[in-house]
Structure formats: structure tokens, C-alpha cells
Amino acid sequence: DAGVTQSPTHLIKTRGQQVTLRCSPISGHKSVSWYQQVLGQGPQFIFQYYEKEERGRGNFPDRFSARQFPNYSSELNVNALLLGDSALYLCASSLAGRGVNEQFFGPGTRLTVL
């Protein structure tokens, strides 16, 4: 069975640019969450989407936005990139939006902002 997939694997942008990251959840999973992991730190929660609706967001500025499509795949958009946005962006999928649902993580997208 295919796990969570993310694209691209690596990305280099310059300050002020915009970036779109993509995630496909495990087949049958309806919830997607996004996390940012800065080097040497634990992942930080950005968004959760369930059934195409935003279920919640962490403490991130409005430059970060996301959406979920009818096939449950998701995109994370970051506008006006800052150097501090350089990180590994992880997508996690789970079966449903709440309850005892284990989150399975994708391989991540490594974003470097120059």
C-alpha cells in the first residue's frame, strides 16, 4: 500500500517568493495535517483539514494557507517567504478528523529560502 506522498522533495526559493507544497494521503484517509520542522526542533502543527474543511490551525501567520481537494489531497501555500521559513514540511494523514486516529507522516518537503 502506498503511504503518504509529498512533492516536491526539495525546493529552493528566495525571500519574498511564494511556494506550494503538495500531499497525497493514504488511500481511505480523509484528514491531512501539515507540520513545520525547523532543523534541530520537533515538528510544529500548522493546519489540519478534514473533509475539505479546515479543522484547526496552529500559531502560524496568515502567509500560510492550505486547502484540501475532493480526492483528499492537500496543498500548503506559503506567501512572502522569509529566511525563517526554511524547514522540513511534513504532511500527515489520518483516517478521520477526530478521535483516536494515528497520524502517518510523509517523507517531507525540504524548503530552503535564500
Partner 1 sequence: ELKVEQNPLFLSMQEGKNYTIYCNYSTTSDRLYWYRQDPGKSLESLFVLLSNGAVKQEGRLMASLDTKARLSTLHITAAVHDLSATYFCAGLYSGGGADGLTFGKGTHLIIQP
Q: Which residue ranges make up the site for partner 1 (CB under 8 A)?
A: 31, 33, 35, 40-45, 47-48, 55-58, 90, 94, 97-98, 100-108
Query: Which CB atom, from 33 or from 68, has the smaller least distance to partner 1?
Result: 33
Q: How far is the CB of 16 from partner 1 (least distance, A)?
A: 28
Q: How far is the CB of 53 from partner 1 (least distance, A)?
A: 10
Query: Which CB atom, from 73 or from 95, has the smaller least distance to partner 1?
Result: 95
Residue 24: left if φ>0, alpha if ψ -120 to 50, beta else—which one? beta
CA angle 21, 91, 36 (to 5 degrees): 80
What number of other Cβ atoms are within 10 A of residue 20's Cβ?
A: 13
Q: How far is the CB of 100 from partner 1 (least distance, A)?
A: 6
CA distance 88 to 38: 6
